[in-house]
Chain A
Amino acid sequence: MHIPDGLIWPLIMLVGWGIGITAVAIAARKCSRSLTNERIPTMAILAAGIFVAQMLNFPIIGGTTGHLLGATLATLIVGPWAAIIVMSIVIVIQGLLFGDGGILAMGLNLANMAVVAVAVSAVFLRLLKGVGTEAAVIVASWFSVFIAALICAVELAVSDLAAPGAYGIVWSLSMPFMLGLYSVIAIGEAIITASVAKYFMLVHPGLIATAKSAPEASA
Chain B
Amino acid sequence: MKAAGMCMKAAMAILFIFMIGALGYFAFSADGPDGLERTMENAGVAEHGSVYDAPLDYGEDYQAYLLTGVIGFVAVIAVSLFIAKMLAKKNETQPDR
Interface of A with B (CB < 8 Å)? Answer: 1-7, 28, 31-41, 43-45, 47-49, 51-53, 55-59, 62-67, 85-86, 89-90, 92-100, 102-104, 149, 152-153, 156, 169-170, 173-174, 177-178, 181-182, 185
Q: Which of A1, A45, A48, A64 has the most CB of B within 10 A?
A: A48
Q: Which residue of B lies closest to A56 (CB)?
A: B21
Q: Which residues of B contact A32 (CB under 8 A)?
A: 87-88, 90-91, 94
Asked if residues A173 and B43 are in contact (CB atoms below 8 Å), the reply is yes
Closest beta carbon of chain A to B31's beta carbon, Å: 8
> Nearest B residue to A44 by beta-carbon distance?
B80
Q: A48-B14, A97-B72 are in contact. Are A178 and B7 (CB under 8 A)?
A: no
The smallest C-beta distance from A156 to any residue of chain B, in angstroms, reads 8
Question: DSSP class of A's interface residues: helix, strand, loop or mixed?
Answer: helix
Cβ-neighbour of B72 out of A1, A45, A52, A156 (below 8 A): A52
- In the complex, are the beta carbons of B91 and A33 less than 8 A apart? yes
Cβ–Cβ contact A55 & B40, under 8 A = no
State A57–B81 Cα separation when bound (angstroms): 27
Interface residues of B (CB under 8 A from A): 3-4, 6-7, 10-11, 14-15, 18, 21-22, 24-25, 28-36, 38-40, 42-43, 45, 47-58, 65, 68-69, 71-77, 79-81, 83-85, 87-88, 90-92, 94, 97
Given contacts A28-B87, A41-B6, list 7 more A-B pairs with CB under 8 A: A7-B40, A37-B85, A47-B79, A48-B80, A64-B35, A89-B83, A96-B54
B6 nearest in chain A by CB position: A41
- From A45, A55, A181, B69 is in contact (CB under 8 Å) with A55
Would A55 and B65 be within 8 Å (CB), given that A40-B88, A97-B54, A152-B36 are in contact?
yes
Q: Is the CB of B43 within 8 A of A103?
A: no
Measured in the bound complex, the distance between the Cα atoms of B11 and A44 in whole Å is: 10
- 10 CB contacts below 8 A, A to B, read A1-B35, A4-B47, A6-B47, A39-B84, A44-B80, A48-B11, A55-B69, A56-B22, A93-B72, A95-B54
Q: Is the CB–CB distance between A169 and B73 below 8 Å?
A: no
A1 to B33, CA, bound (A): 11
CB < 8 Å neighbour of B39 from A36, A44, A63, A178: A178
Tell me, in angstroms, the Cα distance from A64 to B35 when the chains sit together. Answer: 6
User: When the two chains form their complex, are residues B84 and A90 in contact, meaning their CB atoms are under 8 A apart?
Assistant: no
Specify which chain B residues have a CB less than 8 angstroms from the CB of A52 in the assembled complex. 14-15, 18, 69, 72-73
A38 x B25 contact (CB < 8 A):
no
A64-B43 in contact (CB<8A): no
Is the Cβ of A65 less than 8 Å from the Cβ of B80?
A: no
Closest to B90 in A: A32
Q: State whether A99 and B7 are in contact (beta carbons under 8 Å apart), knowing that A55-B18, A93-B76 are contacts in the complex.
A: no
Chain A nearest CB from B64 CB (Å) reads 12
Bound Cα distance A100, B49 (Å): 14
- B32 and A65: CB pair below 8 A? yes
